[in-house]
Chain A
Amino acid sequence: MVFIVDDDEDMRLAMQRILKTVKLRAELFATAQDFLQRNIPDVPSCLVLDVRLPGMGGLEVQQKLIESGINIPIIFITAHGDIPMTVKAMKSGAFEFLTKPFRHQEFLDAIHQALQRDQLARRQRNAMAELQERYKGLTVRERKVMDLVVSGMQTKQIASALGTSEITAAVHRGRVMHKMQAGSPAELGSMAERLKPSANR
């Protein structure tokens, strides 16, 4: 889904038409407020945003989305082409910046790339979410075992670290691998890495 926010009606309709040529659907909004009230569906999407909008400007919208944790890629469009604005937008994480009038192919390329990026991002987020779910399912002991496995300890070492029998240790280890759906200690290791708070964005 492509979301288009531009105060010029002709422009909105024209952009929608371009997307129609590649059978992409678009939702049109005249103001930023209208868009922000829309709940973003869970499909790969991107946002086409005019920098100069009545009321809330494009850059402000970008800020608001960042604050709300919404990660939709933003393609800025503008009739002006001033560099400070461009720099600011890009630094804040804009995906692309197009100056009107732009060639339709340019526009389509940007849209496709943005959608791809969004799809990738979603997958990653989903994967991450799943991983976290799995981790949540571990008991306290299992989490400890996981840490020890990741540190490279053998079962015997784990048993003595925990103060339990080797079998108990082996059983724990098995359950952790199963719950986390890790195929190998190495895989578990990278999962653990990913689960670290600093990895979460």
Chain B
Amino acid sequence: MKDSFDVSAIFERIHPEDREKVSREAAEVISNGTHAKSEHRIVLPSGEVRVILGLGTVKRDASGKAYEMFGTGQDITERKLSEQALRQSQFYLSEGERLAHIGSWASADLGIRWSEDLNLYWSDEVYKIFGFDPKNGTPSLQQFLSAVHPQDQASLTATMKKLHEQHCGCDVTNRIVRPDGEIRYVRCVGIPVVEDGVFKGYRGTTMDVTEQELLTQELRREKAYLAEGQSLTHAGSWACNLVKRRIVHSSDENARLYGFDPSQGPIPFDHYYNTILAEDESAISAKLGNAIREGADYDVEFRIRRTDGAIRFLRGIGHHNPSQEIGEYVGITMDITEQKHAEQERERLRQLEADLAHINRVNMMGELAGTLAHEIKQPIAAAVANAGACLGFLEGERPDILEAREAASGTIGCARRAAEIIDHVRSLFKKDLPQREPVDLNELIREITLLLKGDIRRNSVTVNLELGEDLPKVLGDRVQLEQVLMNLMLNAIEAMRDANGSLTIASKATEDGHLLISVSDNGVGIPTDKIDRVFDTFFTTKPQGTGMGLAISRSIVESHGGRLWAASDSDRGSTFRFTLPNKV
């Protein structure tokens, strides 16, 4: 080094941006200080920038005036660069942590000695996660634990104890309560640090996983709702490949439908398929085959035999997304056993109703049996008498041919009448399914009146027919409608027994496209408190009555789309009316 050199030349080497700083620091030292320390950049002639650390001491004379400074100049460029690099990487790390909400921590004491602070290091992000201020320094163990949610403190403490004693790793998620009161979910992962076979403590990461945690909880809830929903509706969801006979997904409820235990693990496709009853299998196989070929959705019903032996009705609906592979279906299966049973019940009931109506008819006929035997014998006896008279006219020397012929005609007429009555009775006994045909109600009324002639006479009843002209026909079951009329008329006659009553049957067309038929008697009437009950099944005032007549009559009228009701004046008689829609 030269003995003296140009200070200004040195000064010029100083980086322009740092010159002012250096001058100021130098001036300060010279005036006040003893030791100088300055870091500044210089620019070498090559243009390279270096960092210099200048350390100097100021010599002062007795008056305190600085007269000399000596010191060292050190090229600390490398150190500075690596410091910079370190700072940069620290910055990146910090940024990374900040962006990922992941902080890092380390403990030099955990696993070695239990101390109040466990020699804990927290990165910036950990402070942020906890809402602590790094200026207050690393929290003590107690401060740390008090930030943990009261319900999770015990388990976290236990985890720490475990780490301390066993030197194992951990990955736990607990709740913390930030100073502002907000609850966050925090995941803490720790690993033991071993250097050269010596345990040196722990380091790990801390993550705020609140969003994920809440999302997971939401998903779990929804999954539970879905399972609940499936369980309640006995509907199981599934996804499978029908061609490869593989199950992709099957809900717990699906397994349960088939009688399997979902907790026993995934159930293979064939287990499901083999529960289908042999009788139903070929039809199902065909339907599915068609659907697969066309890539179409399907909706099939079939029976299975569950593992417990029970037979259940299932309905499977499968949907194929055209973007999927052939045979890939997603769908639901429902247990429709109850509905099927209900349908079968309904069918059975319908049959029972028909049977009951038949029994009622037979009963009614039974009631008429005595009358009918009489009714039939009359025309037969008359026929015999006429035939006898015919013979009588033909006897003797001069047979009266004219009279004989008349007698013979009489015979035929009476015999026909007998046959008609028998036909009528037979038709009423027939147990046919309801037939619908156009029926002329006036004609029906006249026929029944004829059939009941005996009863009418026997009870001294006067019959008045007030039948509307041009009464439109009704689309209905002739036999059933006869049953209704007969029932009402017999009831009316019964009510007027021994009383010289008058029975009026009227028919007319109403404005709203219906027919109104009324059967009125002036018999004993129905007490007001009973009038609503007359249509009840098993309600009867007759000692031998079944109580079914009116109930069945009402049921018949209603099945034809009409209404049957009663009005009564005690002691002045009753009127039963019913409407029927006309055949349109």
- CB within 8 Å of B: which residues of A? 7-8, 10-11, 13-15, 17-18, 20-22, 52, 54-55, 79-80, 100-105, 107-108
Contacts and interface: CB of A to CB of B under 8 A. Distances in A.
Nearest to B500: A55
B413 interface: yes
A20 B403 contact: yes
B73 to A, nearest CB: 154
A25 to B, nearest CB: 15
A107 B378 contact: no
A8 to B, nearest CB: 5
Given A7-B457, A10-B413, A10-B417, A18 B389 contact: yes
Contacts, number: 86
B380 A101 contact: yes
A64 to B, nearest CB: 17
B385 A52 contact: no
A10 B381 CA distance: 9
Given A14-B410, A101-B377, A102-B381, A20 B389 contact: yes
Interface of B: 373-374, 377-389, 391-393, 395, 400, 403, 406-407, 410, 413-414, 417, 457-460
A79 B378 contact: yes
B377 A104 contact: no
Contact of A14 (B389, B395, B460): B389
A105 B385 CA distance: 10
A15 B379 CA distance: 12
A120 B391 CA distance: 30
A10 B417 CA distance: 10
A91 B147 CA distance: 121
B557 to A, nearest CB: 31
A100 B386 CA distance: 13
A18 B385 contact: yes
26 contacts: A7-B457, A10-B378, A10-B417, A11-B385, A13-B410, A14-B381, A14-B385, A14-B386, A14-B389, A14-B410, A14-B414, A15-B385, A17-B403, A17-B406, A18-B385, A21-B392, A21-B393, A79-B374, A100-B378, A100-B381, A101-B381, A102-B381, A104-B384, A104-B389, A104-B392, A108-B392
Given A14-B414, A21-B393, A21-B395, A103 B382 contact: no
Nearest to A98: B381
Contacts of A8: 378, 382
Query: Which of B389, B406, B459: most chain A CB closer than 10 A?
Result: B389
A10 B411 CA distance: 10
A22 B374 CA distance: 29
A104 B388 CA distance: 5
A172 B344 CA distance: 109
A52 B410 CA distance: 23
B379 to A, nearest CB: 6
Contacts of B385: 11, 14-15, 17-18, 101-102, 104, 107
Given A10-B382, A54-B460, A55-B460, 10 more contacts: A8-B378, A10-B414, A11-B381, A14-B383, A21-B403, A54-B459, A79-B377, A80-B374, A101-B377, A104-B389
Contacts of B403: 17, 20-21
Contacts of A15: 385
Contact of B410 (A10, A54, A107): A10
Given A52-B458, A54-B457, A54-B458, A18 B378 contact: no
Nearest to A9: B382
Query: Which of A14, A52, A103: most chain B CB closer than 10 A?
Result: A14
A134 B467 CA distance: 68
